[in-house]
Structures are given as structure tokens and as C-alpha cells.
């Protein structure tokens, strides 16, 4: 009997057409993928849910995968098998990923070995699924694109979600003054426990005035912006001279007055982890693994869903009233 004939099947979420959360179909007869050279097969224990996965699923995002596909990139689990030429990992190793080849919303996922990292014992699989995209994106936004320096101030707009909390922890560890916004009392408490010096409720009509009062005449040096289609115009008023807004998230259009950038020589800079070079990814990985080792990098897990409730997870990540950490699927 050939290997292929005895290959087992698994549960995996498949998308056959772009659309709303209802296009996410959980199937129980998907073939377990086989790792090729320089790839590994991971038995998935948890997979992070990122807002970008909802945009891709809806078909409105710049990148469209070939249909059908399985969403998901932030996987944490255990190495099941390795392809040829893989020496960094062996069966049984605890790992987390930044992206997968076969999709993470599944019981098994194939990933390129250079997108997989060891998961230290001090973090559980749920936390492992909350590292990849959020922490690499936050590091890229702050340092690779935002040129943040110790002593500068950073406002993390939407700080209670996965990327936001990652940005608060990284910025605090690197000596920045950290301000964060959230939409609930609970969200504000979470960001204060995770590196923010001060928290503001962005549902308070006067919250921008309170941020101005806190930063004084100088303004804020860097804004990490998760919802630029709502906040970008106001962000430009909050910046210091030579301040910069890092656009991490956006759900539509917004009108701004470009003159607001001239008066302070400020910058609006887009951030896409997808465009990072291999060298930049390695730099992110080094910073992240060092942070775990040092103990300040502690992913906060928010809502948890079984794979059967994946459509509900996609609904909630866009529509819920306020994030409290990284949303994960548990397998």
C-alpha cells in the first residue's frame, strides 16, 4: 500500500467562495497535508484569528487566495513530521508560526521551516497562537517603519486587541512613554496591566482633549493606528513635530487635510507585515524571542472558540464592543 493510500484525514475550515462568515465551512474529510522539503507539519493546538483574515474571506482585500482555501496563519502546536533538509525541528517540538502554507484553521498545518519558531515552555499553546502576526506587526510598526526611540511617546489607538497589546508591551520594554485607547473599562484595565502608562476611553467624546492635556504642547511622537478610517484626521492633530502615524488597520476611506502634515512635517506610514524582507522578519523574530526570554513578552488571550464556531469568531472580531487580547481557535 502506498503512503498516499493510508494517509489520514482531518477537520479543517474551507472557504469555497468569498463572502460573509457563513462561507467558512468546517469539513471533516480534508486530507492531512504532507510537508515538502524545507517544510514542517504541525499538529495544531491553537490558531489565532486576525482581522485581516475576515477581509480576505470577504473578497475585499488586495490579496485573494485561490479558492478553495483554509484561512489562518498564527498556529501553535507540536511538530508532527518534517520535510527533507529540515534540521531546526524534530517531531514533538513545541512551536508557533507566523504563516502557514496549508492554512491554520485545521487540525494539521504545513508551514515553511523558516516561518516556524520554538515555543518556550513558559507560554501555553493559546499564548503561542497570539504571538506571530500581532508581535511581528507591532515590532515592524514601532521600529522598522516608525523608527521609535527610547524616550519618545507612543499612542496605541485600539490598544486592547492583539496588535495593540503587543505594541504596548514592546514599547514599554524599549523605554517609550506609552498611551493607549480602548472602548471599555475592562479594555482600559488590560492595557494598563500590559505596559501603558495611561489609558483613554475612545468612546469618551473628549478623549482627544485628554490625550492633548497628557502630552502637553509637544504632542505625541508616534501613533499606532488600528482604525485609520475613523481616527486619521484626529491623529494628525495629536502629533508632535516630525510625528508619524503608523497605519496598521483600516476598514474604509477617510477625508483628511494634507496641510495638517505640513504644519508639523508629520508622516503617515502604511505597515504591512506581508512586505517584510527575510532579514526584517529575522530581526522581528529575534526581538520577539528575546522578549519571551526576558519575560516582558506575555501574550494576552481574549475570546476562545472551538473550530465549530469559527463563523461566530469572524463575526465577533469585527462587531464586538471591545477587544481584550488576542482571539484564538482551540483544537
Instruction: Please check whether residues 152 and 202 belong to one and the same domain.
Output: yes
Instruction: Please check whether residues 150 and 22 belong to one and the same domain.
Output: no
Last residue of a domain, one of 274, 307, 322: 274
Q: Own/partner pairs for 96-101, CB < 8 Å, 24+ apart?
A: 96/128, 96/129, 96/131, 96/132, 97/42, 97/73, 97/132, 98/73, 98/74, 98/132, 98/133, 98/136, 98/281, 98/285, 99/73, 99/132, 100/42, 100/72, 100/73, 100/75, 101/33, 101/39
pLDDT in tens, 202-258: 999 999 999 999 998 899 999 999 999 999 999 999 999 999 999 999 999 999 999
CA 2 centroid distance within chain: 40
Instruction: Please check whether residues 188 and 259 belong to one and the same domain.
Output: yes
Instruction: Please check whether residues 139 and 225 belong to one and the same domain.
Output: yes
Q: 0.85 cut: is pTM over it?
A: yes
Whether omega for the bond prior to residue 177 falls within 30 degrees of 0, making it cis, is no
Instruction: Please check whether residues 88 and 145 belong to one and the same domain.
Output: no
Confidence of residue 62 (pLDDT cuts 50, 70, 90): confident
Instruction: Please check whether residues 192 and 113 belong to one and the same domain.
Output: no
Q: Give the Cα separation of 29 and 221 in Å (integer).
A: 52
Instruction: Please check whether residues 166 and 221 belong to one and the same domain.
Output: yes
pLDDT in tens, 176-205: 999 999 999 999 999 999 999 999 999 999
pLDDT at residue 73 greater than cutoff 80? yes
Instruction: Please check whether residues 45 and 160 belong to one and the same domain.
Output: no
Residue 147, C-alpha cell as written in the block: 523608527
pLDDT at residue 4 greater than cutoff 70? no
**How many folded domains does the chain comprise?**
2
Confidence of residue 1 (pLDDT cuts 50, 70, 90): very low
Instruction: Please check whether residues 118 and 145 belong to one and the same domain.
Output: no
CA 286 centroid distance within chain: 17
Q: Which domain holds residue 89?
A: 9-130+299-330
Task: Report yes or no on 126 lying in a domain.
Answer: yes
pLDDT in tens, 89-117: 999 999 999 999 999 999 999 999 999 99
Q: Own/partner pairs for 235-243, CB < 8 Å, 24+ apart?
A: 235/155, 235/157, 236/260, 236/261, 236/264, 236/266, 236/268, 237/208, 238/155, 238/208, 238/211, 238/212, 239/264, 239/266, 240/153, 240/215, 240/264, 241/265, 241/266, 242/266, 242/267, 243/219, 243/267
The beta strands (E) that lie in the chain are given as 9-15, 24-31, 39-48, 75-82, 94-97, 108-112, 116-118, 153-157, 177-182, 198-201, 220-225, 239-247, 267-270, 301-306, 326-330
CATH of the domain at 194: 3.40.50.720
Instruction: Please check whether residues 142 and 235 belong to one and the same domain.
Output: yes
- For residue 297, give the DSSP letter: -
Instruction: Please check whether residues 48 and 122 belong to one and the same domain.
Output: yes
Amino acid at each position: 500500500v502506498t503512503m498516499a493510500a493510508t494517509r489520514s484525514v482531518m477537520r479543517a475550515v474551507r472557504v469555497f467562495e468569498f463572502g460573509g462568515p457563513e462561507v467558512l465551512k468546517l469539513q471533516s474529510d480534508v486530507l492531512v497535508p504532507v510537508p515538502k522539503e524545507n517544510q514542517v507539519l504541525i499538529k495544531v493546538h491553537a490558531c489565532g484569528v486576525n482581522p485581516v483574515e475576515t477581509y480576505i474571506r470577504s473578497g475585499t482585500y488586495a490579496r485573494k487566495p485561490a479558492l478553495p482555501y483554509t484561512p489562518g496563519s498564527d498556529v501553535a502546536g507540536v511538530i508532527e513530521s518534517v520535510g527533507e533538509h529540515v534540521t531546526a525541528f524534530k517531531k514533538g517540538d513545541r512551536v508557533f508560526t507566523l504563516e502557514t502554507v496549508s492554512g491554520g484553521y485545521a487540525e494539521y498545518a504545513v508551514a515553511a521551516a523558516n516561518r516556524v519558531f520554538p515555543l518556550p515552555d513558559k507560554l501555553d499553546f493559546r499564548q503561542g497562537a497570539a504571538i506571530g502576526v500581532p508581535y511581528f506587526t507591532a515590532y515592524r510598526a514601532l521600529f522598522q517603519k516608525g523608527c521609535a526611540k527610547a524616550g519618545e511617546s507612543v499612542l496605541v489607538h485600539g490598544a486592547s486587541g492583539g496588535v495593540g497589546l503587543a505594541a504596548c508591551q514592546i514599547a514599554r520594554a524599549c523605554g517609550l512613554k506609552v498611551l493607549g485607547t480602548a472602548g471599555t473599562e475592562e479594555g482600559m484595565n488590560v492595557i494598563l496591566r500590559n505596559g501603558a502608562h495611561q489609558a483613554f476611553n475612545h468612546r469618551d467624546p473628549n478623549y482627544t482633549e485628554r490625550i492633548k492635556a497628557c502630552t502637553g504642547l509637544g504632542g505625541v511622537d508616534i501613533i499606532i493606528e488600528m482604525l485609520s478610517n475613523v481616527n486619521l484626521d484626529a491623529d494628525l492633530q495629536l502629533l508632535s513635530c516630525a510625528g508619524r502615524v503608523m497605519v496598521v488597520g483600516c476598514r474604509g476611506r477617510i477625508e483628511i487635510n494634507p496641510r495638517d502634515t505640513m504644519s508639523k512635517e508629520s508622516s503617515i506610514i502604511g505597515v504591512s507585515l506581508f512586505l517584510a524582507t527575510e532579514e526584517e522578519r529575522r530581526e522581528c523574530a529575534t526581538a520577539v524571542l528575546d522578549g519571551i526570554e526576558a519575560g516582558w513578552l506575555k501574550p494576552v488571550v481574549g475570546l476562545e472558540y472551538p473550530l465549530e464556531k469559527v463563523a461566530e469568531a469572524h463575526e465577533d472580531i469585527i462587531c464586538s464592543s471591545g477587544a481584550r487580547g488576542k482571539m484564538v481557535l482551540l483544537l
